[in-house]
Amino acid sequence: MTAVTDPLTLPCGVSVKNRLVKGAMSEALGTRDHAPRPELPALYARWAEGGTAVLLTGNVMVDARALGEPGNVVLEDERHLAEFHSWAVQGQRDGAQAWVQLNHPGKQAPRGLNAGGTVAPSALPFSGGMARAFETPRELTVTEIHELSARFARSARLAQQAGFSGVQLHAAHGYLMSQFLSPRHNVRTDEYGGSLDNRMRFLLETFSAVRAAVGPRFPVGVKLNSSDFMRGGFSEEDSLRVVQALGERGCDLIELSGGTYEKPMMMLGQGERGGFFADFSRRARAVAGVPVCVTGGFRDAATIRSAVANGTADLVGLGRPLVADPAFSRQVLSGKDASSDVHPLRTGIRPLDRSSYLEIAWYEDAMRRLARGESVKAGETPLLALARISAEMGLGAVLRRRRA
């Protein structure tokens, strides 16, 4: 029976020291020219010292012309390699690994954020209220698709050069790779649209380009939706086929999540216990042939240990619990009956409580506190966090923010 404390050797031959992963959370700690701010190395040092085996960064974008939200960090050339190197070094304290999550938002970028507009597999707008927040994208040409694969590969090579120990391609949560996979957002009639084989072509070609850029001994993972949870979207059956295809190509770690901005199931983990995508993870692990990580809804040590022991997943991803307590992993690993004090935030102001802004502000403010060496005050009113983040970034930037 596998224990959460057991090391795991990835297909590339690299070993991770235990079965716990810090899931990606968008930190909004990029400078005006998109370099990592000094808070990022300090923040990741705390998480590394907390015992977690693999630390996944928040979104690092592969193109400065295609930001997903204010405060994004971008890795597209060598200008900020010194800052990235500091981040990598601090994130690998105590034997932890630090992996860069590489991303492109496609059309899932707030209106007006990118001067040149947005791009996507097809020129389809979002529906309903989202159409007001996100503009109609321009359809990518085949040449541009090839160029984007090359961008991901270049960014991965730069991450390796900066000293990070792996990369993850973000193909979940409705961003560009996820848009290619979904028949709701991809209605192309060429080799990148139509059948699932065609819709997964961009992801698989990009994975191959990244692998060629970093070599066979450098970990390359993929974050994938179990489903979009939308009628006519990317289904669980689709996801299982993509999982199998990634496994056949030697993906080092497939992290499973679900949802998009339209249907933010990844946000529901805050109110669930036991792993929101755990049932699908068991099915995926049966066909993957490579390690599978499931993230979302894990809040107590017993459930985390059980997920690894009973074969739900090879690794368990933790997000909010590691913001509430960066040493939570160490408690789990030590055998303690630990439980994370993570709960939905409420102010009594109904429109605010039903929006995502409160959660966004609270966790971003909490990550800044951790970076300063402070502890997180779980009982503090979330309105104070919202006020502090709004004062730092501007209310407009906060309203454009999303987590995941």
Angle at 315 between CA 313 and CA 317, to 5 degrees: 110
> 110 and 175 in contact (C-beta within 8 Å)?
no
d(Cα 337, Cα 342) in Å, to the nearest integer? 16
Taking only the tens of pLDDT, the chain with its 404 residues reads: 899 999 999 999 999 999 999 999 999 999 999 999 999 999 999 999 999 999 999 999 999 999 999 999 999 999 999 999 999 999 999 999 999 999 999 999 999 999 999 999 999 999 877 788 899 999 999 999 999 999 999 999 999 999 999 999 999 999 999 999 999 999 999 999 999 999 999 999 999 999 999 999 999 999 999 887 677 789 999 999 999 999 999 999 999 987 666 655 544 444 344 457 888 999 999 999 999 999 988 999 999 999 999 999 999 999 999 999 999 999 999 998 988 877 677 776 777 666 667 777 888 999 999 999 998 877 777 777 777 877 777 655 555 555 44
Per-residue confidence (pLDDT) for residue 287, from 0 to 100: 97
pTM: 0.93
Query: Is residue 201 within a helix (H) or strand (E), and if so which, with residue range?
Result: helix 201-214
d(Cα 242, Cα 88) in Å, to the nearest integer? 30
Place of tokens 């994208």: 137
What number of CA atoms fall less than 13 Å from residue 244's CA on the CB side? 11
Structure tokens at 17: 């020291």
> 96 and 47 in contact (C-beta within 8 Å)?
yes
Domains recognised in the chain with CATH numbers: 8-345 (3.20.20.70)
Give DSSP secondary structure letters for 245-300. HHHHTT-SEEEEE---SSS-GGGGGGG--S-TTHHHHHHHHHHH-S-EEEESS--B
> 26 and 69 in contact (C-beta within 8 Å)?
yes
Best CA proximity match to 70, nearest among 109, 121, 13, 118? 109
**What is the maximum alpha-carbon separation in the chain?**
55
**CA separation (Å) from 207 to 139, 221, 401?**
22, 9, 28
Per-residue confidence (pLDDT) for residue 261, from 0 to 100: 60
Per-residue confidence (pLDDT) for residue 349, from 0 to 100: 73
Per-residue confidence (pLDDT) for residue 271, from 0 to 100: 39
Per-residue confidence (pLDDT) for residue 272, from 0 to 100: 44
Per-residue confidence (pLDDT) for residue 401, from 0 to 100: 53
